Amino acid sequence: MDNKSSHPSKSKRRENPSPLIFLVVLGAAFFMATLFTAWTPSGLFSGNLSEKMSMMLTAQPEGNPTLSGGDYPQLRIGIISGHWGNDSGAVCLDGNGEVTLTEAEVNLKIATLVQQKLIQSGYQVDLLKEFDPRLDGYNAVALVSIHNDSCVYIDENATGFKLSAAMDTEDLTRAARLTGCLRDRYGGATGLPYHSGSITSDMIDYYVFSEISKTTIAAIIETGFMNLDRDILTQDTDLVAEGIVQGIECFVNNESVKPTPAPTIPPISTISP
Ligand SMILES: [Zn+2]
């Protein structure tokens, strides 16, 4: 419920946590590599992906008003509302120590809007709980888990968003594309800075990443800090959701990402208590 343990981690199930640093470096390398590589329009369908796509495509249910065709296929996208159905996540307290806002409720508000927007765009969207049983072997073209960071005032740099991709996937390039798209579009939509230096191990080691299908491209986003970013998170939630939606659509549609990342700010020295 705070910085150190804001997301369920699979680390306790792991015997050897040492690959963490490697994964961070690898992730950064892939991100940089993809920044300077033009996305090919055929990228999404390269390799043996047609096989994977067939698993992700779901027949359009009859009577669904979002699309006019009868058998029009829809791409499936998963959205995890962080902590939903499990715990409160980070909390904001008033002067008397009473909880005034929980991360779980902020996450659910954002995740619900993301789901609605994606459905309007013609996708089939699963809104998933933390530890949702459907996550076991989960198959989708993309899966994004929505979280938020601490409500405790840390310092003036404790503002902005963080991203981490699932590195257990079979396709690291596409995993880096998802985070590249989210970083560009979310940063562009919200104007929030990107925290490249304070991605915590519980984001990289997020338990979901080891449970889903290896063909599902997944990422976790912390959309902001509940202290300094509280206003945009709670009062401009539609914009926050729109940034995530644009990032997902950038990934699915293979849109280009300019090598002009959102402004970054230094790591927070006291991120862990
Ligand atoms: Zn969280």
- Mind listing the pLDDT tens digit for each residue in 254-270? 999 976 554 555 555 54
Q: What is the pLDDT of residue 272?
A: 40
Q: What is the pLDDT of residue 74?
A: 86
- Answer whether residue 4 is part of any domain: no
174: enclosing H helix or E strand = helix 172-190
Q: What is the pLDDT of residue 67?
A: 43
CATH value at residue 127: 3.40.630.40
- Ligand 1 centroid to residue 147 C-alpha, Å: 4
Q: What is the pLDDT of residue 267?
A: 57
- Answer whether residue 161 is part of any domain: yes
Q: What is the pLDDT of residue 205?
A: 79
- Ligand 1 centroid to residue 148 C-alpha, Å: 5
- Ligand 1 centroid to residue 185 C-alpha, Å: 21
Q: What is the pLDDT of residue 209?
A: 87
Whole-model pTM: value is: 0.73
Side chain identity, residue 98: E
- Mind listing the pLDDT tens digit for each residue in 6-50? 566 544 333 344 444 444 444 455 444 444 443 434 444 444 444
- Ligand 1 centroid to residue 91 C-alpha, Å: 10
- Ligand 1 centroid to residue 103 C-alpha, Å: 7
Residues 220 and 203: their CA atoms lie apart, in Å, by: 7
- Ligand 1 centroid to residue 160 C-alpha, Å: 15
Q: What is the pLDDT of residue 31?
A: 46
Q: What is the pLDDT of residue 258?
A: 75
pLDDT by 10s per residue, the chain, length 273: 444 445 665 443 333 444 444 444 444 554 444 444 434 344 444 444 444 444 445 443 443 444 444 455 789 999 999 999 999 999 999 999 999 999 999 999 999 999 999 999 999 999 999 999 999 999 999 999 999 999 999 999 999 999 998 877 788 899 999 999 999 999 999 999 998 766 777 787 788 888 999 999 999 999 999 999 999 999 999 999 999 999 999 999 999 997 655 455 555 554 443
Residues 6+ apart with CB under 8 A from 19: none
Q: What is the pLDDT of residue 166?
A: 84
Q: What is the pLDDT of residue 72?
A: 57
Q: What is the pLDDT of residue 202?
A: 76
Measured in degrees and rounded to the nearest 5, phi and psi for residue 206 equal -55, 125
- Answer whether residue 265 is part of any domain: no
- Answer whether residue 6 is part of any domain: no
Q: What is the dihedral of CA 232, 236, 242, 244, to 10 degrees?
A: 30
Domain of residue 205, residue span:
17-59+72-252
- Ligand 1 centroid to residue 198 C-alpha, Å: 15
Domain count within the chain = 1
- Ligand 1 centroid to residue 82 C-alpha, Å: 6
Measured in degrees and rounded to the nearest 5, phi and psi for residue 261 equal -65, 160
Q: Does residue 258 contact residue 189 with C-beta atoms inside 8 Å?
A: no
Q: What is the pLDDT of residue 3?
A: 41
Q: What is the pLDDT of residue 98?
A: 97
Residues 239 and 233: their CA atoms lie apart, in Å, by: 9
- Ligand 1 centroid to residue 222 C-alpha, Å: 7
- Answer whether residue 64 is part of any domain: no
